[in-house]
Amino acid sequence: MAKKTATKTAAKNATKATSKTGAKSLATLKDEICDIGRRIYNKGFAAGNDGNISYRLGPNQVLCTPTMMSKGFMTPADLCIVDMEGNQIAGKRKRSSEILLHLTIMKERPDVNSVVHCHPPHATAFAVAREPIPQAVLPEVEVFLGDIPISRYETPGSQTFADTIRPVVKRSNVILLANHGTVSFGETVERAYWWTEIVDAYCRILMLAKGLGGVVYLTGKETRALLDLKQKWGFTDARLDLNMNDRDICDNAVFKSTWQEVGVARRAFATHPEAHSGGQSAAVGGQSLPPGIDYEQLVKTITANVCRELGISPGTSPRS
């Protein structure tokens, strides 16, 4: 009974825009969510009815997208309002089934007003391969994202699934959800979406560079210079909060302790040459090898040299 009354009161208040929305009216916020919905759909980040977006209107009201609807074709009238427990208090359509993920992030991060969840293909590929996203490659990514965690797999939709972000949510504004997709968050709907767009573009570049022979990492010193800039511009970064040295800042060290539980391991990309664990993940014939060498490239070079000596092309049969 008490829950019903509370829900009714929240529903009454849901029609008013509260101080949390700042100068923006509810109508403007609904337009913004529909606009970001179109952008995630047009980028190919949300197939079918995939993806969901939310915005915190007040202490117990959250505007969100509906379930079973393409995010590319929403109008303001399609949006719903829920309370912080996920009970629907306004809107004709049924609220997103993933709202508990959004609300858990908002409860853990009072600074966050908006959450965007979708399935961008390149970032999701890293989440499916459970490959840690390499660091110390692109300056913008170092400044805007930092170390990016992959959270533990759970069946989507439940509170148990939503809880998987808890161990990492305070140290990053974007999370890869194992075998699922991404979730990113920020002060505004646009900011929350930016991190998704940046992480997917980055993952795409990493895959393309790997196809060209591999990535060349920035040095620890070069990465430190980017972190100094980040601090100067007023952005926070877990690597700065943890007072990491140059070896740690390019070693995915912020979230490495979560890898084993999640099933994350380096398979596609070499460990940064300056990282502490540079030699730990490389092994040939059961023997560990010294750090700082790109083994994949080394094998390719040796193969090419041997083939040249034998007068054959790699991948073809020797001449008779």
Judged by the rule CB under 5 A, the positions of this chain that interact with Zn ion are 181
Sign of CA dihedral 269, 272, 275, 279: positive
Phi, psi of 167 (to 5 degrees): -65, -20
Minimum gap (Å) between residue 119 Cβ and Zn ion: 6
209 exposed, middle or buried (CB, 10 Å; 0-12, 13-18, 19+)? Answer: middle
Q: How far apart are CA 44 and CA 59, in angstroms?
A: 33
Which of 132/181 has CB closer to Zn ion? 181
In the complex, what is the shortest distance from the CB of residue 134 to Zn ion, in angstroms, rounded to a whole number? Answer: 24
Taking the complex as a whole, the smallest distance from the CB of residue 155 to Zn ion amounts, in Å, to 11
What is residue 229's three-state secondary structure? Answer: helix
Instruction: Calculate helix-pair angle for 189-211, 121-129, nearest 10 degrees.
Output: 70
The CB-nearest residue to Zn ion is 181
Nearest to 194 by CA among 244, 235, 156: 235
Q: How far is the CB of 50 from Zn ion (least distance, A)?
A: 6
* Residue among 48 and 59 whose Cβ is closer to Zn ion: 48
Nearer to Zn ion, 91 or 181 (CB): 181
To 10 degrees, what angle do helices 26-42 and 189-211 make?
Answer: 10
The DSSP line for 109-176 is -TT--EEEEE--HHHHHHHHHTPPPP-SS-HHHHHHT-S--EEPP--TTSHHHHGGGTTTGGG-SEEE
State the minimum distance, in angstroms, from the CB of residue 159 to Zn ion: 15
Least distance between Zn ion and beta carbon 46 (Å): 9
Pairing of β 114-118 and β 287-288: unpaired
* CA–CA dist 243, 224 (Å, integer): 11
Chain mean position to CA 62: 22
Four-residue CA torsion sign, 298, 302, 308, 312: negative
Residue 189 CB, shortest distance to Zn ion, in Å, is 18
